[in-house]
Chains A and B, each alone.
Chain A
């Protein structure tokens, strides 16, 4: 008997997606099969960041890039809407005619833009701003337009205006109220905001009501109520508020709120019908609709909790807002308009600098009730939690908003103060994460999600982490080791500026003692990145970890493994045979690696030169499997053979692997190239991954496998090969210069102030003007590349060290022995004691 229940989720937006995530995480799928019906053709994406679609494209916005959930009990149906729900039979009818039965129904249909009934709204070039399709349509129309108007000067309207401006249009905003963002800011704040917007070239029309859209079939302008004057524009975007999408609920006879939205109780359960729930913007808990994502997320969690038998409740939401619009900070929180009886206001208004800050304070002057910040919202992180936690104001509250001391005040928030409103993370949660082992703000964000959605609390999270460490007396010491009071990035700059060429000079000038196993390989890597040259060159050889020192990978029994380079994983039959013959001759264990090459295990130190002699003779070179350096660029077979491929992924992978081979970096580097969106090369699991598009290449960065896997994120899209290589040169050099020791690209990206956006600004937009220098540095590396093994084989001084014993160079170390498993050698379990060789072994004198 099947006791599993079916739960149908209508809508796959941000809130619907969050519901499914929470259902999987909390185990609801153990008892329920979940079917999610999404109307749009693509899975849920970050609608809050919709405007960034213009820079990054749809893929970067996706909340489910894989296109499906990692739980087989969740089925996602896209491009399909629900036409009908019937609570009596507990079924829904889909737009394709299919009928689904449900045990529980969760409505997450969101809201639709409100388009006022103005004559002419049906004309061409009249848009709304809600979906990726809307943005695609606006972009297409902007090609043949020179001006555009946004109707509605709210938060979303200004986002839309920013988009039109970005598309190169002369941009107008029409607002019925006397100021922009009238819900969030007051008159004085609106004035400051208006001035910022005007400076940016946007024409504001306040206190104006649109009467009609003019034009024959296509929009050519606007007419206003009570005015003769008209405005000529080529396209119009409506952003006049949103309305809950409650049509199917209305048709099914569910209780609705007065202003629309499914009326639900504190657990988001329909007040009129059993087994029906509503969350997000289509819901009206207690009659109020919430047009922000954070309350929607809370509702999603509440319903999962209720279905698991929990008692979580939604009791209203913090409607605080903080955003950056075209570079202008705007924040509004708590009782921003001073609605509390007898409250007091404290205002700082600097018209010259364009900064307006207002605090609303309780009558007794002891509590902060709310506030508005325009032009500089840096104090938001400390102010908003003061409202929600109710902690007393300091004696001189003006300090909180005066420019000189903003942020410098020593305020202690209580543990229950909410820091991240998007994901409901408190200060206590953050401290618990640090106590549990997180060592940086980035790690805290990864674990608690604090700062992971809108990012506005990131500075606050960082400060709490730092304060916590300070309180523990733990100095966050960034020193490389006891010998250098510098970070790796600082050391890199020091070496570059002074042009040092040896460890001795560097430690004499900037360090103490004689170095260690941490700073020596780090300096070796820095010197290699800056100067090129051989890792075993005089003065460098003793700095190297054993892998680099012997140009092989040390294995558990003291032998090394040997990996010849096979660029892009492409190899001729003759090459395969040559490797096979070498392995056979020296009795080595062979295994195919994850990077599409062949690893030969069990080589003794003294065998390495002979093995490499044969490999070099057969045309192979070092694969640098032993280095903190480029390993491989993995590829799928691409358009040469594959019937789906759109670009030559093998050709590009080989080009990139040969370009960056031997490049020393803070940690190992891996790349991948896929010839189409099917992504068979798993490129997004690499430090740099390239995926072919119809128009060129998408470049992703910061991915890795391992214990903490990371998916690479889109750095830039639809690139030519030339652009791709330019950005990649810059990206890799920027990483090499600024990352910490043993920091992979993913953690480096998370640690950079401003994250991926900042790195994109440096690499793609070249805001620091570093582009040419980074490319030059890469060119130095490429020009100075030479195969380390060929050079070693030709240099008796370097070869001298490849012996088992300095006084018995040909005698194998008796501590190494092998067994056999599946027809190949494997290390014997290590002896518990050093092995004594028989007395008959001759002990030679000094060797030369």
Chain B
């Protein structure tokens, strides 16, 4: 839970997001990509791909990549395939680039998204 709970807005029922895929939501005027992984976890990232300058990340393929021996959930930009860590927003192909992540919770089967988290 985040301190600023008032900024959490409901976007859709969890069931509406197919496992291992994303949807785009409009939250406080911003396009946010919301992903649901195979294990059922949900993540929210900015939908904006900093490489292609297009609002597309929710339409990428979701999978896992082994980083330092650990499987990391990621989305590959549908534009030029750069991979972004779903937990941190960090680009796995270029450590200097990352996208903002957003607060996200599931309550009573409803997905709620809040404001951007502090950069890690």
Taken residue by residue from 828 to 848, chain A's Cβ proximity to chain B (1 for < 8 Å, 0 otherwise) reads as 001111111111010101110
Q: Is the CB of B60 within 8 A of A815?
A: no
Contacts of B59 in A (CB 8 A): 546, 549-550, 554, 605
Q: Is the CB of B65 within 8 A of A834?
A: no
Instruction: Given A558-B55, A806-B24, check contact A834 B46 (CB 8 Å).
Output: yes
How far apart sit A549 and B73, CA to CA, in the bound complex (Å)? 20
Closest to A538 in B: B18
Q: Is the CB of B31 within 8 A of A834?
A: yes
Which residues of chain A in 703-751 are interfacial with respect to chain B, using CB atoms and an 8 Å cutoff? none
Which of B16, B19, B64 has a CB less than 8 Å from the CB of A516? B64
Closest to A555 in B: B54
Q: Is the CB of A556 within 8 A of B52?
A: yes
Contacts of B76 in A (CB 8 A): 516-517
Taken residue by residue from 23 to 39, chain B's Cβ proximity to chain A (1 for < 8 Å, 0 otherwise) reads as 11111111100100110
Q: Does A634 contact B (CB under 8 A)?
A: no
Return B48 CB to nearest CB of chain A, in Å.
4
Q: Is the CB of B20 within 8 A of A542?
A: yes
Contacts of B11 in A (CB 8 A): 806-807, 846
Return A713 CB to nearest CB of chain B, in Å.
33
Q: Is the CB of A482 within 8 A of B38?
A: no
Contacts of B25 in A (CB 8 A): 805-808
Taken residue by residue from 91 to 107, chain B's Cβ proximity to chain A (1 for < 8 Å, 0 otherwise) reads as 00000000000000000
Q: Is the CB of A558 within 8 A of B56?
A: yes
How far apart sit A837 and B28, CA to CA, in the bound complex (Å)? 8
Contacts of A516 in B (CB 8 A): 61, 63-65, 74, 76, 83
How far apart sit A804 and B37, CA to CA, in the bound complex (Å)? 21
How far apart sit A554 and B64, CA to CA, in the bound complex (Å)? 23
Contacts of A845 in B (CB 8 A): 10
Taken residue by residue from 595 to 633, chain A's Cβ proximity to chain B (1 for < 8 Å, 0 otherwise) reads as 000000000010000000000000000000000000000
Q: Is the CB of B60 within 8 A of A546?
A: yes
Taken residue by residue from 669 to 686, chain A's Cβ proximity to chain B (1 for < 8 Å, 0 otherwise) reads as 000000000000000000
Closest to A834 in B: B48
Contacts of B78 in A (CB 8 A): 545-546, 554
Contacts of A546 in B (CB 8 A): 56, 59-60, 78
Instruction: Given A542-B61, A815-B48, A843-B9, check contact A805 B31 (CB 8 Å).
Output: yes
How far apart sit A181 and B75, CA to CA, in the bound complex (Å)? 66
Instruction: Given A545-B61, A806-B16, check contact A836 B21 (CB 8 Å).
Output: no
| Residue with the highest number of chain A CB atoms closer than 10 Å, among B23, B73, B83 | B23
Which of B13, B30, B53, B66 has a CB less than 8 Å from the CB of A837? B30
Q: Does A513 contact B (CB under 8 A)?
A: yes
Q: How many residues of A contact B (CB 8 A)?
A: 51
Q: Does A286 contact B (CB under 8 A)?
A: no
Return B100 CB to nearest CB of chain A, in Å.
9
Looking at chain A's contact residues, the main secondary structure is loop
Q: Does B42 contact A (CB under 8 A)?
A: no
Which of A542, A800, A839, A846 has a CB less than 8 Å from the CB of B10? A846
How far apart sit A661 and B25, CA to CA, in the bound complex (Å)? 35
Contacts of B28 in A (CB 8 A): 843
Q: Is the CB of A838 within 8 A of B29?
A: yes
Return B113 CB to nearest CB of chain A, in Å.
9
Taken residue by residue from 194 to 215, chain A's Cβ proximity to chain B (1 for < 8 Å, 0 otherwise) reads as 0000000000000000000000
How far apart sit A465 and B66, CA to CA, in the bound complex (Å)? 30
Contacts of A800 in B (CB 8 A): 16
Return A526 CB to nearest CB of chain B, in Å.
16
Q: Does A183 contact B (CB under 8 A)?
A: no
Q: Is the CB of B19 within 8 A of A542?
A: yes
Which of B19, B34, B56 has a CB less than 8 Å from the CB of A554? B56
Which of B16, B30, B63, B73 has a CB less than 8 Å from the CB of A834? B30
Instruction: Given A837-B30, A843-B26, check contact A517 B81 (CB 8 Å).
Output: yes
Q: Does A514 contact B (CB under 8 A)?
A: yes
How far apart sit A556 and B47, CA to CA, in the bound complex (Å)? 15
Contacts of B21 in A (CB 8 A): 541-542
Return B63 CB to nearest CB of chain A, in Å.
4
Q: Does A520 contact B (CB under 8 A)?
A: yes
Q: Does A543 contact B (CB under 8 A)?
A: yes
Instruction: Given A520-B61, A554-B79, A806-B16, check contact A514 B53 (CB 8 Å).
Output: no
Taken residue by residue from 775 to 819, chain A's Cβ proximity to chain B (1 for < 8 Å, 0 otherwise) reads as 000000000000000000000000011011111100101111000
Q: Is the CB of A556 within 8 A of B54?
A: yes
Which of A514, A803, A807, A835 has a CB less than 8 Å from the CB of B20? A514
Which of B26, B61, B65 has a CB less than 8 Å from the CB of A805? B26
Name A residues whose Cβ lies closer than 8 Å to a Cβ of B.
Answer: 482-483, 513-517, 519-521, 541-546, 549-550, 554, 556-558, 605, 800-801, 803-808, 811, 813-816, 830-839, 841, 843, 845-847
| The 3 residue pairs across chains A and B that have the minimum distance between CB atoms | A830-B53, A546-B78, A815-B55
Interface pairs (7), CB distance under 8 Å: A516-B63, A517-B61, A542-B21, A807-B11, A807-B12, A833-B48, A835-B55
Given contacts A482-B66, A541-B18, A806-B16, 15 further A-B contacts (CB under 8 A): A513-B63, A513-B65, A514-B37, A516-B74, A542-B61, A545-B61, A546-B78, A801-B23, A804-B24, A806-B23, A807-B11, A808-B26, A835-B55, A837-B30, A846-B12
